[in-house]
Amino acid sequence: MMPSFLTRFRHPAQVVAAGFGLAIAIGTVLLSLPIATTDRAPADWVVALFTATSAVCVTGLVIVDTESHWSVFGEVVIAVLVQVGGLGIMTMATLFTLLVSGRLGLRARIAAQAETKTLSMSDVRRVVRKVVLFSLGCEVVAAVVLTARFVVGYGESLGRAAYLGAFHAVTAFNNAGFALWPDNLMRFVADPWICLTIAVAVIVGGLGFPVVFELARSWRRPRKWSVLTRVTVGVSVTLLVLGTLVFLVTEWRNPRTLGALDDPGKLLAAFFTAVMPRSAGFNTLDISQMYPSSWLATDVLMFIGGGSAGTAGGLKVTTFGLLAFVVWAEVRGESRVNIGHRRLPEATQRQAVTITVLGVTLVAVSTYVLLALTPHGLDQVLFEVVAAFGTAGLSTGITPSLGVAGHLLLTVLMFIGRLGPLTMGSALALNQRSRHYELPEERVIVG
């Protein structure tokens, strides 16, 4: 018989939440040790908790400067937490995706999923192995390129360059956004080797394991792509192009952002800025000096986020894309929602709507609370809240000044934002029930 304490975690979503909570607790303890700070004084518990949550939830929001406040031990702890969080999200999200789609074997062999159709243990091991190898391979490639650039272009010693390359490869692929410079990556705004390497790592990590492997198998045959891949790729490319154009148009003449760069530099910086709201959190432009219209555009991109079963956060481009198809079908008066040659189940439509409404509600309530707790304006507060919920890690610069209550609110938002869409989506998909009767239909005026 299963022990009583295990029966409380029989749903996979509960297992994931408990696992991430444990990782955050361990990270908080490690970052609270005197050896974790540069001055060898124990870090404040709020700082340690906030940083550990930001790392495990691969967000990148900070209330202290990473390089000056944390020692090498502290930085390594942060990198390990980011790696654990990124791999955990990719692994569990991929398993949930395959579980929901029913693409793999069905055997009741995992106690945590005893009440649902579940993956076999052999399938789980194979998927986990592929996810780990894929993640580590991408990080190694990015680390090698960054290391070479730091040595050749900036005169760093090989050891220091390798450390910088490895750290930023891990935080980039896992969409975490931690950087070891006080200005994040602003000093590299015109360096395509640094910016494009990190941007590509962010995009690949944010697409999601199932999408990347399907593209690897059949990138020349788009007609054979699954709905997941079509929506993820289509919406991601659209958002990257539109985001780049919006930032170019809005910030072109802003002397504090793009205005100080030449034309190629402006294009590179705008593209990099459009990639980062996928939930990466790096910045080569001073976010605090952007126009409010750019903040709003960034809010939208951060809220949408990246692909499912990837390291990116947010609502997910798949959810956003599915809602767009639902709206389009309704506008055209069609009774069914079709994507390509496939029909979208009504249950999936309701799940997308549910996750979106819950996300909007959480952001609205959190923004109200933070406005009441701090003296900052709506633009900045909304930006911080969306960045935390979307695990984007971008900031207008007010995060350190939000106070203990504000920091705890953002900590909760990062945890919910990281696990909420994943656990809510899996819970809805795995908890479908059939009703053996129908109630009489009644029309209600909408609008």
Please state, in angstroms and as integers, the Cα–Cα distance from residue 263 to each residue in 157, 193, 254, 373, 382, following that order: 32, 17, 13, 42, 31
Q: 45 lies in which domain range?
A: 7-424
Q: How many helices (H) and strands (E) does the chain have?
A: 15, 2
Question: Can you say whether residue 283 is alpha, beta or left, with left for phi > 0 and alpha for psi between -120 and 50 degrees?
Answer: beta
Q: Is residue 281 part of a domain?
A: yes
pTM: 0.86
Please state, in angstroms and as integers, the Cα–Cα distance from residue 407 to each residue in 48, 74, 144, 193, 399, following that order: 11, 20, 35, 35, 8
Q: Is residue 24 part of a domain?
A: yes
Q: Is residue 397 part of a domain?
A: yes
Q: How many domains does the chain have?
A: 1
Q: Is residue 133 part of a domain?
A: yes
The two three-digit tokens of residue 308, written as one number = 């499912």
Q: Is residue 34 part of a domain?
A: yes
Neighbours of 435 (CB within 10 A): 6
Q: Is residue 347 part of a domain?
A: yes
Phi and psi dihedrals of 281, rounded to 5? 90, -5
Taking alpha carbons only, the member of 238, 232, 240 closest to residue 308 is 232
Q: How far apart are CA 61 and CA 264, in angstroms?
A: 29
Q: Is residue 429 part of a domain?
A: no
Q: Is residue 2 part of a domain?
A: no
Q: How far apart are CA 63 and CA 176, in angstroms?
A: 15
pLDDT per residue of the chain (447 residues) written in tens, 0 to 9? 444 444 455 555 666 777 788 899 999 999 999 999 999 999 999 999 999 999 999 999 999 999 999 999 999 999 999 998 888 766 765 565 555 555 433 333 333 333 333 344 555 667 777 888 888 999 999 999 999 999 999 999 999 999 999 999 999 999 998 999 999 999 999 999 999 999 999 999 888 877 888 888 887 888 888 888 888 999 999 999 999 999 999 999 999 999 999 999 999 999 999 999 988 889 999 999 999 999 999 999 999 988 877 778 888 898 899 899 999 888 888 888 888 778 888 878 888 888 888 899 999 999 999 999 999 999 999 999 999 999 998 999 999 999 999 999 999 999 888 877 656 555 555 555 566 667 787 767 666
Q: How far apart are CA 429 and CA 229, in angstroms?
A: 19
Which residue in this structure is represented by tokens 């956004």? Answer: 177
Strands 342-343 and 338-339: antiparallel
